[in-house]
Each structure stands twice: as structure tokens, then as C-alpha cells.
């Protein structure tokens, strides 16, 4: 499973969200979800592209060529979970930590900007986070054919320490978040939609 141990508790997040959101079915429009999907998928593709570029640099350092095919060959033998600061200089680790923090700030900001209601903000955050994560892995697989297996280890985050798990774990959590939001939502009535806009 994931390391450190508490990362495994993330599997409970979609269930907890669903439990609390069922008490007040979430009034989220299809348009809201669609706009969030477009943002999150595009953002996930950008994040995936950044990781492809990082792997291209590491592949060049390891003696591979500059093409996408070479990066794909490098990715098959590359285990990001064992990446040490000696391979990636500590200054670049700091940049990576800042990039991860900025990613979270962007996802939280989208949730804060889209609705005044606390539960709908949580729903929007979980929804965009999940779609972003799925798009991220889809981009990596589509470009460099990584992961080659759902059991491949990955570094999920570096804040405050590296979170490491097999790829299937974040994919499962993300899919469960998508399902939890979809099962919790209901359409806004026209009157409620106008009231929501006036708040």
C-alpha cells in the first residue's frame, strides 16, 4: 500500500464526503461539472507534460536520446519512488515542492471561486482534483507509456514528506471521488439557481 501509512487513509475521503453530502443533496449543475472537467483535464495534461519534460531531462542525463520514444524507454526502467536528491538536485526538489503547492492552491481556488456553499466547494475540489489526477496519468501513459502496470510505484506528493504508492491507489481514490460527487448531486431549480447567483 502507500507510504507513509497515513496516506492510505485517503481511501476514506470519498466515503466521508458522500456520507455528509447525502444529508443535503448537492445542487450542482451539469454546466458547473462540465466546466470543472474542462479545467481539471487541461490542468492534468499540463502537469503530465511537465513530468514528461522532467523525465526527458533525466533520460538525457542517463544517456538516452532526446525523442519521446527515448523518454518512453527510459520511463520503463525509471522508478520515481526511488529518486534520490543525488539524481535530482535539492534545488530542483524545492522547485518541485513549490509546483505541487501551487497545484493545490489552484485546485482550491477553483473550488472557492465557483460556489459560496461549503459542501459544493468540497464537491468541486474533490471533482477537479480527481479529474486532474486521472488526466495526469492518462497524459503520462499516452505520451511515454508509463505506468506500464498499475502496480508501478509513484511519488504522489513531496509535501511534507514523499508519499509513495502503487499507481492503482491514487487512480482508485480519484475514481471513487468522481462517483461520490455524481451520486451526491442534484440539479438546481431555476429559482435556486437565481438565488445562488445573488448570494
Which pLDDT belongs to residue 66?
Answer: 81
Integer Cα distance of 10 and 2 in angstroms: 10
- The β-bridge relationship of strands 163-166 and 153-157 is antiparallel
pLDDT (average), residues 176-196: 75
Among 176, 199, 196, which Cα is nearest to 11's? 176
Which pLDDT belongs to residue 35?
Answer: 94
Quote the percentage of the chain above a pLDDT of 90: 55
Which pLDDT belongs to residue 19?
Answer: 92
Which pLDDT belongs to residue 13?
Answer: 96
pLDDT (average), residues 161-190: 89
Q: Read off the pLDDT of residues 163-173 as tens digits, 9 standing for 90 and up.
A: 999 999 999 99
Higher pLDDT, 8 or 61: 8
Which pLDDT belongs to residue 189?
Answer: 56
Higher pLDDT, 46 or 2: 46
Sign of CA dihedral 139, 141, 146, 147: positive
- CA R_g for the chain: 19
Residue 128 in this model has a pLDDT that exceeds 70: yes
What's the longest Cα–Cα distance across the chain? 63
Mean pLDDT of the chain: 87
Question: ∠ at Cα 145 (141, 146), nearest 5°?
Answer: 70
Residue 194 in this model has a pLDDT that exceeds 60: no
Among 172, 106, 160, which Cα is nearest to 134's? 172
Which pLDDT belongs to residue 133?
Answer: 97
Q: Read off the pLDDT of residues 37-60 as tens digits, 9 standing for 90 and up.
A: 999 999 999 999 999 998 898 888
pLDDT-derived band at 21, boundaries 50, 70, 90: confident
Residue with cell 470519498: 14
Which pLDDT belongs to residue 24?
Answer: 74
How would DSSP label each residue in 78-125?
--GGG--TTTS-HHHHHHHHHHHHHHHHHHHHHHHHH-S-HHHHHHHH
How would DSSP label each residue in 114-161?
H-S-HHHHHHHHHHHHHHHHHHHHHHHHHHH---SSTT-EEEEE-SSS
* Residue 155 burial (CB count, 10 A): 16
pLDDT-derived band at 195, boundaries 50, 70, 90: low
Q: Read off the pLDDT of residues 54-104 as tens digits, 9 standing for 90 and up.
A: 889 888 888 888 888 989 988 888 777 665 544 567 777 888 889 999 999
Which pLDDT belongs to residue 82?
Answer: 66
Amino acid at each position: 500500500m502507500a507510504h507513509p501509512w497515513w496516506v492510505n487513509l485517503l481511501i476514506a475521503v470519498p466515503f466521508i464526503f458522500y456520507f455528509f453530502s447525502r444529508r443535503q443533496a448537492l445542487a450542482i449543475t451539469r454546466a458547473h461539472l462540465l466546466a470543472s472537467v474542462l479545467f481539471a483535464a487541461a490542468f492534468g495534461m499540463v502537469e503530465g507534460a511537465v513530468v514528461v519534460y522532467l523525465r526527458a531531462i533525466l533520460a538525457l542525463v542517463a544517456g538516452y536520446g532526446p525523442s519521446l520514444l527515448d523518454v518512453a524507454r527510459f520511463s520503463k526502467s525509471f522508478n520515481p519512488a526511488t529518486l534520490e536528491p543525488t539524481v535530482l538536485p535539492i534545488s530542483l526538489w524545492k522547485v518541485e515542492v513549490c509546483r505541487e503547492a501551487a497545484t493545490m492552491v489552484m485546485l482550491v481556488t477553483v473550488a472557492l471561486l465557483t460556489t459560496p456553499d461549503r459542501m459544493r466547494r468540497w464537491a468541486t475540489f474533490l471533482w477537479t482534483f480527481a479529474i486532474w489526477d486521472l488526466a495526469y496519468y492518462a497524459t503520462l501513459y499516452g505520451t511515454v507509456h508509463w505506468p506500464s502496470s498499475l502496480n508501478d510505484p509513484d511519488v504522489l506528493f513531496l509535501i511534507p514528506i514523499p508519499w509513495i504508492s502503487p499507481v492503482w491507489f491514487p487512480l482508485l481514490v480519484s475514481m471513487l471521488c468522481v462517483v461520490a460527487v455524481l451520486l451526491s448531486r442534484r440539479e438546481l431549480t431555476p429559482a435556486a439557481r437565481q438565488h445562488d447567483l445573488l448570494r
